C-alpha cells in the first residue's frame, strides 16, 4: 500500500491518499487540543499510543458485529481505513454525568444516568459543535434520517460492548462520542475510539484516565492512556 498526498489535516490526525482509491491512511500525531483549539500541546508518544489503542478497539467492535471503516494497523502511527463520506454529526452516549451535560443541566458530576442518554452534535469547530436533533439534520440535509437511525443503533451497540469491556478491567466508560460515514451505501463507524474522545474512570477510585487530564491540567496524560491500554492487555513497549 503506497502512502500518497495529504488529504485532510485535523486536530490530532492526518489523512493521506493511497494507491487504492477505496482506502486512506489515518496518521496519528502527537498534537493535543482542547476548548476548540484554545489549548494546544504536543504530548510525546500520544499518537503512537492512540493508534495502537484505536486498532484494538476497532477490532473488538468488528468482532462483535459492528461495521467500521478500520482495515488494519500499518505501523506505530498509521492505520489503513476505508474511504467514506463522513456524516457531520457526532453521536454521544453518556453513562455517567460529566463535562458539558453537568454545565448545561446543573447535574452533579458522577451521577449515574439510568438509562444512559443519547445526544447529537453538529460537527463544526467554528460553532463549537452545537447540540442538535433529528429535525435539524433533516432540514439542513446533513444526513438521511435512516442513516441517523442506523448510527444511533450502532452507537448503543458500541456501548453494550465497551461498557462491559472496560468494567471487566476495573474501569468505567463514562461517555464517548462517535462519528459515522457512508461507504458503498452502508453506514460505518469512522474516525477513532481513544481516550481523546471518551471519558474513562477507574471503577474504584473514579480517577480520570482520559483527555480530561489534559483539559484540567492534571498531568500524566499519555501515561494514563497507557494505563488504560495495559489494563486491556495492550503492549506499548
- Dump pLDDT digits (tens) for 39-65: 999 999 999 999 999 999 999 999 999
Q: Alpha-carbon distance 227 to 130, whole Å?
A: 32
- Cβ neighbors of 53 (< 8 A, separation 6 or more) are 193, 194, 195, 225, 228, 229, 234
Nearest to 194 by CA among 75, 25, 50: 50
SS3 category, 15: strand
What are the φ and ψ backbone dihedral angles of 228, each rounded to 5 degrees? Answer: -60, -50
**pLDDT over 90 at 237, yes or no:** no
**pLDDT over 90 at 12, yes or no:** yes
Q: What is the pLDDT of residues 120-139, one digit of tens each?
A: 999 998 999 999 999 999 99
- Hey, which residues does 179 pair with through a beta bridge? 90
Tell me the CATH number of domain 3-82, given options 2.40.30.10, 3.40.50.720, 3.30.200.20, 1.10.390.10.
3.30.200.20
Cell output for 24:
486512506
CB 181 within 8 A of CB 69: yes
Map out the domains of the chain as residue ranges: 3-82, 85-220
Q: Alpha-carbon distance 197 to 181, whole Å?
A: 17
DSSP 127: G
Q: According to CATH, what is the number of the domain 85-220?
A: 3.30.470.20
CB 83 within 8 A of CB 184: no
Please tell me whether the peptide bond between 10 and the residue prior to it is cis, using omega within 30 degrees of 0: no
| Rg of the Cα atoms in the chain | 17
Q: What is the pLDDT of residues 165-186, one digit of tens each?
A: 999 999 999 999 999 999 999 9
Cell output for 160:
453494550
Q: Alpha-carbon distance 71 to 51, whole Å?
A: 13
Distance between alpha carbon 209 and the CA centroid of its chain, in Å?
A: 15
Amino acid at each position: 500500500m503506497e502512502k500518497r498526498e495529504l488529504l485532510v489535516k485535523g486536530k490530532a490526525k492526518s489523512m493521506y491518499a493511497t494507491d487504492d482509491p477505496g482506502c486512506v491512511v489515518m496518521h496519528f500525531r502527537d498534537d493535543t487540543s482542547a476548548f476548540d483549539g484554545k489549548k494546544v500541546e504536543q504530548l510525546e508518544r500520544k499518537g503512537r499510543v492512540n493508534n495502537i489503542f484505536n486498532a484494538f478497539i476497532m477490532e473488538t467492535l468488528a468482532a462483535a458485529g459492528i461495521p467500521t471503516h478500520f482495515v488494519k494497523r500499518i505501523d506505530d502511527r498509521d492505520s489503513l481505513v476505508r474511504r467514506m463520506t463522513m456524516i457531520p454529526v457526532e453521536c454521544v452516549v453518556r453513562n455517567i454525568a460529566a463535562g458539558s451535560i453537568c454545565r448545561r443541566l446543573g447535574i452533579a458530576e458522577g451521577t449515574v444516568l439510568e438509562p444512559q442518554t443519547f445526544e447529537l452534535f453538529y460537527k463544526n469547530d467554528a460553532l463549537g459543535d452545537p447540540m442538535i436533533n433529528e429535525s435539524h439534520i433533516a432540514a439542513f440535509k446533513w444526513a438521511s434520517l435512516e442513516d441517523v437511525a442506523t448510527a444511533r443503533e450502532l452507537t448503543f451497540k458500541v456501548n453494550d460492548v465497551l461498557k462491559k469491556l472496560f468494567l471487566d478491567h476495573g474501569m468505567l466508560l463514562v461517555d464517548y462520542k462517535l462519528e459515522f460515514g457512508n461507504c458503498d451505501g452502508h453506514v460505518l463507524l469512522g474516525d477513532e475510539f481513544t481516550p481523546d474522545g471518551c471519558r474513562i474512570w477507574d471503577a474504584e477510585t473514579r480517577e480520570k484516565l482520559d483527555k480530561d487530564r489534559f483539559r484540567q491540567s492534571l498531568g500524566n496524560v499519555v501515561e494514563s492512556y497507557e494505563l488504560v491500554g495495559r489494563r486491556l492487555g495492550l503492549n506499548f513497549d
